[in-house]
Amino acid sequence: MALWPVTFINGEGFLPCFWNFDQACLPFVRSGTFWGPFNESMPNATEHTRWIREEAQRLGFSYVGISRAEFMEEEARRLEAWLNKGMHGQMGYMANHFDKRTDPRKLAPGARSVISLMYNYYSEDGQQDPEAPRIAKYAYGKDYHFVLKHKLKSLLHFIEERIGQVHGRVFVDSAPVLERDWARRSGLGWMGKNTLLIHPRAGSYYFLAELICDLELAYDAPIKDYCGACRRCIDACPTEAISPEGYILDGSKCISYFTIELKEAIPEEYKGKFENWMFGCDICQEVCPWNRFSRPHSEPEFEPKPALLAKTRQEWEEITEEVFRELFRKSAVKRTKYEGLKRNIAFLKKGGHEHE
């Protein structure tokens, strides 16, 4: 039973009473010689939004933005053009469920709001051997899918307990959701020339997550693009995956694609161009001036195992499947599997490129 304290004004002062949602028992305001019905829209969308933001921050999310759930016309055109040019490579799933990917109401029927959340994963720790094959920072700790989905479910439970029956779904990079576009629409940042979401006070080392629900909320607005004339990410990308003017990423040329998504042999033409990345790549984030605002995360689940940071180049090259399973239990690195990681390491060795 959800009881809400409400205060009404009558001719003699304040009259405290309660609003019982579950039994639809509406209180009345005394006015003169009759009782008039109370406005059913209270508590309103602004109050609900405040509660959601406060709970999300309590759960560890750094920033929260909210957009109206609707068809994404501009994004749909851009996605279609990107797919038609084959920039998704062998990521066939990117072409699936186009209608759901561009309209959250088809993914979550009855949806009114898309709640976008950012969770920090930046770490100042690094691999100790400068010649060791490198792993992207997001994969240092426990798989973010598990960590964030648990927090999102807690947030949805809070909404149901505090506000009443709400139909919603949670997403962490695991469904046809254009997460960066929704985060941009909700004012959490702008889409950088490297196509990552950049927050003006925190940079881009953040996981994005969404809660799509049928609750009407107070909506945020996009902010302007602050990349300006900077082209550091474009110039730094060793495989030229970022278009000359930025804002378009050819996924089929990205080091992250080759080391994680590609299941066959890595094309020989990229030999010596990986700058020693064996899983993912942070180059375009490392050179981005906005990441000078990055601060270390405070999530214990994302702390790297000491053994991961301590491994030498030789130890990586000689890694066994048993060590792989132990080191990457509940890790995002499991996505590439043991055979995939060995392939990546062998490709780096063949290219003879040492980390600079």
Structure tokens at 252: 């089929």
How many Cβ atoms are within 10 Å of 340's Cβ, its own excluded?
19
Sign of CA dihedral 99, 197, 186, 152: positive
In angstroms, the CA 183 to CA 181 distance is 5
Closest CA to 18 of 34, 35, 42: 42
The answer to whether the CB of 234 falls within 8 A of the CB of 248 is no
**Catalytic-labelled residue, pool 22, 129, 143, 173:** 173
Alpha-carbon distances, residue 264 vs 53, 64, 240, 271, 340 (angstroms): 43, 39, 21, 15, 9
Q: Is the peptide bond before 43 cis (omega within 30 degrees of 0)?
A: yes
In angstroms, the CA 279 to CA 4 distance is 51
The answer to whether the CB of 203 falls within 8 A of the CB of 242 is no
Hunting for tokens 């960066």 — which residue is that?
Answer: 180
The answer to whether the CB of 277 falls within 8 A of the CB of 258 is no
Hunting for tokens 């809070």 — which residue is that?
Answer: 158
Known catalytic residue at 173: yes
Q: Give the gyration radius of the chain's Cα atoms.
A: 24
In angstroms, the CA 198 to CA 284 distance is 12
In angstroms, the CA 289 to CA 19 distance is 51
Catalytic residue ranges: 173
